[in-house]
Amino acid sequence: MNNRLYTVLILVASALMLASAVIALRTRPHFQQSGEEAEPGSECGILGGGLVEEDEPDAEATESCAAQNSVKSGKTLEERDKEKFDVAEMRNEIEEMIRKFRGTDEERQEVVDECEQGKELIRLFAEFSESSIEMMESEELEKERESFEKEYRAQLEYLRTGRLQRMLKTPEEQEVIGSTIEAAQDFLERIDAALHSAGY
Length of the chain: 200
Q: Which of 100, 1, 106 is nearest to 51 (CA)?
A: 100
How do residues 23-53 score in pLDDT, each as one tens digit? 433 333 333 333 333 343 333 332 333 454 4
The Cα–Cα gap between 86 and 82 comes to 6
CA 163, 164, 168, 173 torsion: positive or negative?
negative
198 or 31: which leads in pLDDT: 198
Domain count, the chain: 1
What is the three-class DSSP state of 116?
A: helix
Mean of pLDDT values over 61-89: 65
Residue type, 116: E
The whole domain housing 152 covers 3-197
This prediction has a pTM of 0.64
The Cα–Cα gap between 64 and 180 comes to 34
Query: Whole-angstrom distance between the N-terminal and C-terminal Cα of the chain?
Result: 14
Q: How confident is the model at residue 169 (pLDDT cuts 50, 70, 90)?
A: very high
Whether the per-residue pLDDT at 185 is higher than 80: the answer is yes
pLDDT value, residue 73: 56
